């Protein structure tokens, strides 16, 4: 690993100020992705600002919903009693991600900040517009089995690898960030971005901003939820496709529906048209199939990932069926 300067800070203000003074540096929390990227030479921060001592670990219920500190550990969030009882979709998504060891290290903020696992991004001998803007995309005509079917551009067809983020997008969470200009809130669905002409930008954070927490508004998605993750092995692999499904049922009638997919786009992919279609309908396989058809509109594959066009609608129906049970 390349050498770097190291700073340990104890307040949000100090963290933000230290980054402002060291613009080529970066924050480190759990480090599970960052250390990996640094060992590969993909990321080369000149200074690491260790934020683990910041008071951002709490998980608390407020009138508005659930407030999760950016430094709350993934395993602790998934085992939290309030999360288990009132936000089970988040619990399921967290448990589907990574391994028990990694979940004991990874933080909520770090999970959001993880980079794509596109092999061309990780291999510094290959072109990658995300790693080195303008160098080209190795995946576009390469081995693109894991890659996007929605919202990609001719510059980048990488996907965001998180499971947790798919659930948070479905649950209409909000991200709180602190920066040199103070605090602001970003809708979770606006946090990650599509690649467009700037795939080097994963998200809409402004220069020098630090994620301080995530808030999930109160909801009634406590019973009929399911996080389906399809991967190459039974556990501990990134999603080929994942689906977060949440239904609020009144008898067999869908009062409200939330759907999001992982492993298909540069960001957690909300299926708003399918959600609208399902609202007021009965929870039947037929309706779920129609919703899945709507959801897959505009999907485009790149060769090795053609199977995702077929797998996508099946996964959506499966997740909805499981959620409705």
Chain positions contacting another protein, by CB under 8 A:
1-11, 13-14, 17-18, 20-21, 28, 31-32, 35-36, 39-40, 48, 50, 52, 75, 98-102, 104-105, 180, 234-236
Containing H/E element for 226?
A: strand 224-230
Containing H/E element for 211?
A: strand 210-217
> What is the closest distance, in whole angstroms, from the C-beta atom of residue 234 to another protein in the complex?
7
> What is the closest distance, in whole angstroms, from the C-beta atom of residue 8 to another protein in the complex?
4
Which CB, 19 or 137, lies closer to another protein?
19
Which CB, 79 or 289, lies closer to another protein?
79
Task: Give the span between the Cα atoms of 98 and 102, in whole angstroms.
Answer: 6
> What is the closest distance, in whole angstroms, from the C-beta atom of residue 212 to another protein in the complex?
16
Which CB, 140 or 227, lies closer to another protein?
227
Q: Which of 235, 197, 185 is nearest to 64 (CA)?
A: 185
Q: Which of 13, 56, 7, 42 is nearest to 28 (CA)?
A: 7
Task: Give the span between the Cα atoms of 30 and 49, in whole angstroms.
Answer: 12
> What is the closest distance, in whole angstroms, from the C-beta atom of residue 1 to another protein in the complex?
5
Which CB, 52 or 153, lies closer to another protein?
52
> What is the closest distance, in whole angstroms, from the C-beta atom of residue 160 to another protein in the complex?
18
Which CB, 1 or 63, lies closer to another protein?
1
Query: What is the end-to-end Cα distance of the chain in Å, rounded?
Result: 49
Distances (CA, A) of 259 to 86, 95, 184, 243: 17, 18, 26, 7
């Amino acid at each position: 690993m390349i050498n770097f300067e190291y700073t340990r800070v104890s307040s949000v203000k100090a963290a933000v100020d230290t980054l402002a003074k060291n613009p080529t540096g970066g924050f480190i929390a759990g480090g599970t992705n960052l250390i990996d990227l640094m060992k590969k030479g993909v990321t080369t921060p000149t200074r690491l600002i260790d934020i683990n001592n910041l008071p951002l670990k709490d998980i608390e219920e407020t009138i508005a919903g659930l407030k999760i500190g950016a430094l709350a550990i993934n395993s602790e969030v998934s085992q939290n009693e309030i999360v288990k009882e009132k936000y089970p979709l988040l619990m399921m998504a967290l448990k589907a991600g990574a391994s028990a060891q990694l979940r004991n290290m990874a933080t909520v903020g770090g999970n959001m900040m993880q980079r794509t696992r596109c092999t061309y991004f990780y291999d510094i001998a290959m072109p990658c517009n995300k790693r080195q803007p303008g160098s080209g995309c190795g995946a576009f005509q390469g081995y693109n089995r894991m890659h996007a079917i929605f919202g990609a551009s001719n510059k980048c067809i990488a996907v965001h690898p998180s499971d947790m983020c798919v659930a948070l997008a479905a649950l209409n969470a909000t991200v709180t960030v602190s920066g040199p200009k103070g605090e602001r809130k970003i809708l979770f669905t606006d946090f990650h971005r599509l690649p467009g002409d700037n795939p080097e930008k994963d998200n809409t954070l402004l220069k020098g901003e630090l994620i301080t927490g995530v808030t999930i508004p109160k909801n009634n998605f406590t019973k009929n939820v399911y996080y389906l993750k399809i991967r190459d092995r039974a556990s501990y692999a990134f999603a080929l496709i994942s689906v977060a499904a949440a239904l609020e049922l009144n008898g067999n009638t869908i009062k409200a529906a939330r759907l999001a997919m992982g492993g298909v786009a540069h960001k957690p992919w909300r299926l708003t048209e399918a959600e609208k279609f399902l609202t007021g309908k009965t929870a039947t396989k037929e309706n779920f199939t129609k919703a899945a058809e709507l959801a897959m509109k505009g999907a485009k594959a790149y060769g090795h990932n053609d199977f995702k066009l077929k797998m996508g609608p099946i996964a959506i129906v499966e997740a909805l069926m499981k959620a409705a049970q």
